[in-house]
Amino acid sequence: EAGVTQFPSHSVIEKGQTVTLRCDPISGHDNLYWYRRVMGKEIKFLLHFVKESKQDESGMPNNRFLAERTGGTYSTLKVQPAELEDSGVYFCASSQEAFLPNYGYTFGSGTRLTVV
Amino acid sequence: QQPVQSPQAVILREGEDAVINCSSSKALYSVHWYRQKHGEAPVFLMILLKGGEQKGHEKISASFNEKKQQSSLYLTASQLSYSGTYFCGTEIKLTGGGNKLTFGTGTQLKVEL
């Protein structure tokens, strides 16, 4: 079974530019999450999709961040325009069904975003 | 609100034991534990759903005290491969439906020879 795939693995952009991150969850997983880890600190929740609907986007920092999940398959996270403080590792995770016993989230390897 | 983990960091010699604690200020539905190695994705270790539940994974086990809203991760006879950052994830039920997983502050564990 293929895992959660994220693209690109690294991105270096200048302040003010636009970047789009992509996440392909495990096939059949309705739940898709975006998290961010900044400067080796805690992993912070950004938002949660159930299929194509945004279940919870309370962690999105501001309106420069836009997430979509058209068709309920892959998701994109766009940052426009990027600021220096947006640098960090963006993780995507998916789960089959919210909170089945013994099932956790499967994480992708992350996209390391550096804004210079 | 983010759960708090303790200790923040720990160094062990191979074969030693360690306990990592996770405390939340909110009523919990479940607790997850993950381990992340540098530059890699966090890897799911286990989930605890009920108060008092204990789970085990190789020589790593965990308990969940629902009343105290605390969980502890026990690493026994540590191996070099246990090194990494351990995160607890606490799950709460949202009033509007659905659940939310919030990760703890993380505990850096290093196992040396």
In the CATH hierarchy, which fold is given to the domain comprising A5-97?
Immunoglobulin-like (2.60.40)
Is B54 part of the contact surface with chain A (CB cutoff 8 Å)? no
- Rounded mean pLDDT, B76-93: 91
How far is it, in rounded angstroms, from Cα A41 to Cα A63? 23
> CATH classification of B4-112, choosing from 3.90.180.10, 2.60.40.10, 3.20.20.300, 2.40.30.10?
2.60.40.10
Is B98 part of the contact surface with chain A (CB cutoff 8 Å)? yes
The type of residue at B19 is: V
Model pLDDT, residue A110:
95
- Give yes or no for a contact between B102 and A45, defined as CB atoms under 8 angstroms apart: yes
Helices (H) and strands (E) in chain B, counts: 0, 11
pLDDT tens column, A42-101 = 899 999 998 899 988 989 999 999 999 988 899 999 999 999 999 999 999 998 765 555
Structural domain boundaries in chain B: 4-112
Are the beta carbons of B106 and A41 separated by less than 8 Å?
yes
Residues of B in contact with A99 (CB under 8 A): 29-30, 47, 49, 91, 99
Long-range contacts of B44-53 (CB under 8 A, 24+ apart): B44/A104, B44/A105, B44/A106, B44/A107, B45/A104, B45/B73, B46/A102, B46/A104, B47/A99, B47/A101, B47/A102, B47/A103, B47/A104, B49/A99, B49/A101
